[in-house]
Chains A and B, each alone.
Chain A
């Protein structure tokens, strides 16, 4: 593990621009969001029904679950649209050279 807590997640070339990209780090399934205000990352599964948010609709800073259209703000993980009520676990994300990195907290 790197000293500063940042982990390489994927090549920058694999990042889907303006959209959500699925990634796996160890045993964690993660969603990486390319937003107008930079990169954000969260756990990949919806806190309501467990669907994969990487298959969902993404717009700006909103990720919407593909199963029930519950919504989260990817900057904070806050649940912002029913039926989701619990926040998503989020992680800091950044670009370092040609790699996307996240810091597990």
Chain B
């Protein structure tokens, strides 16, 4: 008999951390919680966008754009949840919202899905995890990563390469042959959309998308890099999920923006559990996964301590 691969979930069931009935209850999906959150999300975006409008013709526009940008970069959290089909019970809604999020943050959804699946297979394994953020060895590397400059260089290069019809050898490993055309087509559509946007701005002289969207996105991305580092950086490079991933306990506003993705170790344990059930899963796995009580700042204290010790 062929044996299933050992997933973190298989382990959790085998170790009686979870029963199948508990798992079934945790995995139940609903459209309501996400629709409610999306409504609040829209109000928050409207409010932070209004801040930019109110600060127009003042230096305060820069902090206003930063605040708006911090909200915008959290479209990543929603897109990530859509990748796992855990935002809505209605499956196509996850695809729709995921694609919209991807368009906002310049991250083609289908490609991200394939890449992210591979990240879940090879979490924190050197050379295999396509989303691995390396532990910085110097203060310069730490600062450079947090600047988001390498992130944008990678993502824009990736987009252009896919639009040109090319996938790298590493990308071909996790992208099914039959899906390569999809990845190329979505990159072309996204690139065409952005070219059309810039052309429209240039022709009309209306540059609002730049001030209300793209500049805030660039200003906010370092915050998302700061958050993304807390998930795995500094954790052991081993397959054991209770060791290689970090959950950060953060405030309600940050949990809201992150769609509970701060419960990252729990998410890696059972990726089929929707965002609204992650706090309950956190209680079930208490003591079994690595939890950083100091939140994102505490996680960076750990990273910085390791960086100091390495030096």
Chain A positions near chain B (C-beta within 8 angstroms): 16, 19, 24, 27-29, 44-45, 49-52, 55-57, 59, 62, 64, 66-71, 81-83, 85
Contact = CB atoms under 8 A, between A and B. Distances in A.
20 contacts: A27-B1, A29-B4, A49-B5, A49-B121, A50-B4, A50-B5, A56-B272, A59-B89, A62-B91, A64-B272, A67-B7, A67-B117, A67-B271, A68-B271, A69-B85, A81-B85, A83-B113, A83-B179, A85-B178, A85-B179
Interface of B: 1-2, 4-5, 7, 9-10, 13, 20, 23-24, 27, 29, 83-86, 89, 91, 110, 113-114, 117, 120-121, 174, 176, 178-179, 270-272
B87 to A, nearest CB: 12
B100 to A, nearest CB: 18
Across chains A and B, which 10 residue pairs bring their CB atoms closest together, nearest first?
A52-B4, A68-B117, A27-B1, A50-B5, A57-B272, A57-B27, A69-B85, A85-B176, A66-B9, A55-B9
Nearest to B272: A57
A71 B5 contact: no
Contacts of A24: 1
A45 B23 contact: no
Given A69-B84, A69-B85, A83-B176, A55 B23 contact: yes
A42 B108 CA distance: 33
Contacts of A45: 2, 4
Contacts of B83: 69
B194 to A, nearest CB: 24
A69 B271 contact: yes
Q: A44, A52, A66, A71: which has the most chain B beta carbons within 10 Å? A: A66
A57 B9 CA distance: 12
A16 B176 CA distance: 33
B272 A69 contact: yes
A67 B121 contact: yes
